[in-house]
Amino acid sequence: MANLKNVTKKTKAQEMGMHTEVLTGRTQQKFFNPDEAENFYYFGTYDVDFNKRTDLDVKDMTAPEANKEIDNLMSQGYGTIVIKNPQGKHSLGVGILNKLNLIFEGSLGYFGMGSCDGPIVRINGRVGWSCAENLMAGKVVIEKNAGSCFGAAIRGGDLICKGSVGARTGIDMKGGTIIIGGDAGAFTGFMMQRGRIIILGDVGINLGDSMYDGTIFVGGEIGSYGSDAVDSELTSSDQDWLKRKLKVAEIGENFDVSKMKKIVAGKKLWNYDNLEPTEKKGAI
Amino acid sequence: MCGIAGLIHRGKSSNVGSELQGMLQALKHRGEDSTGYALYGDTDGKHFIMRFKVGENVGEGSSSVMEDVSVYDERKKIVDQTLAELGAKVVKEERTLPYSLRYEIDYDVKDLLNFSQTIESIPGVEILSMGKSLEVIKDLGNAKAVCDRYSLDKLIGTHAIGHARMATESGVDIKSAHPFWGYPFSDVSVVHNGQLTNYWNNRRALENKGMRFMSECDSELIAVYIAQKMREGASLEEGMKDSLTGLDGVFTYFVATKDSLGMAKDTMAAKPLVLYESDDLVAMGSEEIAIRSVLPQEIDTYDPFDGEVKVWRI
């Protein structure tokens, strides 16, 4: 285990007295250890059975009522929940920190599936702005289109939209994978820090603007590149990874990944080499 | 944060007053300082419909100064005299509220600039809309309150746009509420969600060209800007496309004319819009729940992209 207390190397910013916190670089990354799996759980999560299935009609419920009922059903061991009549309501399915097979028969409004960690979600409709914001792990599949800020600040998991998405997809993302079957709007990958975005269609202006790190793959036309976003070589391992991901995502089965463009950070604006506080805490 | 909504029926009429009320009420959490409707009703097209106000709503939350109702009566008298002097005959008169009036006018003129300037030279009087089918109704409160106050739920027409306002950059009053009439063009109206950052520069330039502003609400600029482009010979769509570079800031706005409805979104796509489009109906709003109030069944909707302009006809 890394011992950050022994790290004495000072950054230029520290030498200038701008902060006193001991910062470390990517060499201090701590990877998940399967032997320690039992230590990774959230308080208040439930042991659910995926074969235990139920429906929940939320037509006459508010979003908090619907979310509370989902929690209640998980507490009863239901591992597969089908939500009927979401009708574009906002903030449905937020804060699920549990293994769960969740299916929405319809469309969601803003902030659907925000701050989740673990569920497998299929939305048979459209989603509004900021779908799956801060997703930590799991898989969210949208069968139709998505609004702006799709997958904002996600840290892990797979977020898949089979249709087209609005502007600022993957803004500030710090991990995970976003896959778009159609087109994407302006500022896709804006300030992304880690993770990967795959767009099979066209993408709007300012792609990857001010991105720190991470990778964007584009199958169609690019409106324009943002600041510090540059082309990179598409390697054979990239292509293998793309094929695997598209297969898992159930889209682009016959898509020719060899013709995709790969965009990365030019790192002229780069000032990013530190673990996040939570990662640092885990490493300590 | 404000909410906008609009719909257009193609090839038929419907109860657009009730439909728009439902859409705007679904967006009331985006602002309920004031709500406004621009409704395009079925008329015989013989007379102009003039919606105008002779005072402000000074109810709870209003930023307007209290006036005695007798002042409104006095202004109405002057309006009536001025209309007679202009050769306009009032064939039907409704006074829904002490400060809000609706006239049907027999008046044979295409250029409404002189007409409007003359009427609005009366202190405290503002024309909310002028057209053969357009009626702009706006007041303080949420969509249902305004709809009930003006009995809008029975209005039959082809298309409509509306606005639920959270006042940010100007007062809580009717003059700052949306929609704005595209003065001096008959049957043109605008609603907007966003902020314009080159308002004063554009306003000074447009005032120098003879255009008028009734409020200090930045959204009014869009109506005047489009109207000026149309005065210069541009089509509605051309004027809207020009606005993408002429207007600075973040915006999604709708423009309606007697037979069309259009939307424009700024080049950063900073303001939301969800759109449903079919052969017989186009419905759009800041959030999908607005559309769901008229189409509760599962439908295909999408977000228009940055810099997009679309226009539909009835």
Domain containing residue A165: 52-272
Contact across the interface for A183 and B288, Cβ inside 8 Å: no
Domain of B272, in residue numbers: 3-313
Residue A144 to chain B, least CA–CA distance (Å): 7
Search chain B and give the residue with CA nearest A111: B287
CA-CA-CA-CA torsion for B30, B32, B34, B39, nearest 10 degrees? 70
For chain A, give the percent of residues with pLDDT over 70.
80
Select the residue of B269, B300, B307 nearest A166 (Cβ to Cβ).
Answer: B269
Asked whether the beta carbons of residue B298 and residue A89 sit closer than 8 angstroms, the reply is: no
- Interface contact B28, partner A, CB < 8 A: no
Is pLDDT of A233 > 70? yes
Q: Among residues 6-45 of chain A, which lie with CB inside 8 Å of chain B?
A: none
Q: How many CB atoms lie within 10 A of CB A137?
A: 17
Query: Ranked by mean pLDDT, which of B31-45, B104-118, B165-179 comes out on top?
Result: B31-45
Phi-psi region of A206 (alpha: psi -120 to 50; beta: other; left: phi over 0): left
- B244, B305, B308: best mutation site toward chain A, by most A Cβ within 10 Å? B305
Judge whether B122 and B79 are in contact, CB under 8 Å: yes
Tell whether B207 lies on the interface with A, counting CB pairs under 8 A. Answer: no
Closest residue in chain A to residue B305, using alpha carbons only: A185
**Cis-peptide into B98, omega within 30 deg:** no
Lowest mean pLDDT among A37-46, A74-83, B106-115, B300-309: A37-46
Determine which of A55-69, A178-192, A212-226, B172-186 has the lowest per-residue pLDDT on average. B172-186
How high does pLDDT run on average in chain A? 87
**pLDDT class of A253 with cuts at 50, 70, 90:** confident
Q: Is B268 on the interface with A (CB under 8 A)?
A: yes
- CATH code, domain carrying B213: 3.60.20.10
Contacts of residues A110-114 at CB distance under 8 Å and 24 or more positions apart, as own/partner, are A110/A147, A110/B287, A113/A140
Q: In what order do the strands lie in the sheet with B134-140?
A: B134-140, B34-41, B157-165, B3-9, B281-285, B274-277
pLDDT of residue A234: 96
Does A169 score more than 50 pLDDT? yes
Contact B269 A148 (CB under 8 A): yes
- Residue B62's pLDDT is 74
Q: Which residue of A has its CA nearest to B307?
A: A186
Residue type, A216: I
The answer as to whether A153 is a domain residue is yes
Identify which of B273, B223, B216 has the alpha carbon closest to the alpha carbon of residue B247: B223
Rounded to whole angstroms, what are the CA distances from B190 to A62, B162, B302? 32, 9, 22
Residue B261's nearest CA partner among B275, B251, B243, B242 is B275
Name which of B259, B263, B266 is nearest B276 in CA terms: B263
Give residue B297's Cα distance to chain centre. Answer: 29
Tell whether B109 is within 8 A of chain A (Cβ).
no
Average confidence (pLDDT) over A56-69? 97
Q: What is the pLDDT of residue A3?
A: 47
**Chain B interface disruption, residue of A85, A111, A126, most B CBs within 10 A:** A126
Minimum distance, in Å, between the CA of residue A270 and any CA atom of chain B: 24
Least Cα distance to B296 among A128, A163, A106, A93 occurs for A106
User: How many independent structural domains does chain B possess?
Assistant: 1
* Active site (annotated) includes residue B2: yes
Confirm or reject contact between B47 and chain A (CB < 8 A). Answer: no
Chain A residue numbers touching B269 (CB-CB < 8 A): 148, 166-168, 185-187, 204
pLDDT over threshold 60, residue A9: no
**Taking the complete model, does pTM exceed 0.95, yes or no?**
no
Of B270, B272, B292, the CB nearest to A147: B272
| CA–CA distances in Å: residue B15 to residues A10, A87, A166, B27, B101 | 70, 22, 32, 19, 22
Please give the pLDDT value at position B215.
82
Catalytic one of B2, B164, B273, B282: B2
- Shortest Cα–Cα distance, B307 to chain A (Å): 9
Interchain pair A185, B272: CB under 8 A: no
pLDDT bucket at A275, cuts 50 / 70 / 90: low
**A35 CB-contact burial (10 Å; exposed 0-12 / middle 13-18 / buried 19+):** exposed
Residues 128-167 of A with CB under 8 A from B: 128-129, 144-148, 163-167
Question: Residue A29: inside a domain, yes or no?
Answer: no
Q: Is the pLDDT of residue A36 over 60?
A: yes
pLDDT at B297: 87
Location of structure tokens 């604006």 = A269
- Number of structural domains chain A divides into: 1
- pLDDT of A31 above 90: no
Cβ neighbours around A240 below 10 Å, total: 11
SS in 3 state form for B57-108?
A: CCCCCCCCCCCCHHHHHHHHHHHHHHHHHHCCEEEEEEEEECCEEEEEEECC
pLDDT at A28: 45
CA A180 to chain CA centroid, Å, is 12
Average the pLDDT over each of A18-22, A187-191, A260-264, B181-185 and give the range with the smallest value: A18-22
CA dihedral B269, A121, A170, A164 (to 10 degrees): -40
Residue B167 has pLDDT above 90, yes or no: no
Q: Which two tokens stand for residue B137?
A: 């109704």
Chain A residues near residue B268 by CB distance under 8 angstroms: 167, 186-187
Q: How many CB pairs under 8 A join A and B?
A: 74
CA angle B266/B268/B270 to nearest 5° reads 85
Identify which of A109, A166, A187 has the shortest CB distance to residue B303: A166
Instruction: Give Cβ neighbours of residue B57 (< 8 Å, ≥ 6 apart).
Output: B64, B97, B99, B139, B140, B173, B174
Please, are residues A53 and A82 in contact by the beta-carbon 8 Å criterion?
A: yes
Which residues on chain B are in Cβ contact (under 8 Å) with A169?
none
CB B262 within 8 A of CB B234: no
- The residue count for chain B: 314
**Tally: H helices and E strands in chain B:** 8, 15
The pLDDT score that the predictor gives to residue A35 is 67
Q: Which strand (E) or helix (H) includes residue B242?
A: helix B236-246
Question: Per-residue pLDDT for A1 more than 50?
Answer: no
Give the max Cα distance, chain A: 59
Which chain B residues touch A147 with a CB distance below 8 Å?
A: 272, 274, 303
| Short-list B227, B283, B303, B312, CA closest to B22 | B283
The phi, psi pair for B40, rounded to 5°, reads -110, 95
Say which of B270, B302, B306 has its CB closest to residue A145: B302
ipTM: 0.82
Residue position matching structure tokens 């309606």: B256
Using the 8-state DSSP alphabet, how is residue A191 labeled?
T
Query: What is the tally of helices (H) and strands (E) in chain A?
Result: 4, 11
CATH number, domain of A178, equals 2.160.20.60
What residues pair up with B281 in beta bridges, in sequence order? B9
CB atoms within 10 A of CB B116: 19
A197's CB contacts (< 8 A; 6+ apart) are: A169, A170, A173, A177, A178, A179, A180, A188, A189, A214, A215, A216, A217
Query: Is B303 within 8 Å of A185 when comparing Cβ atoms?
Result: yes
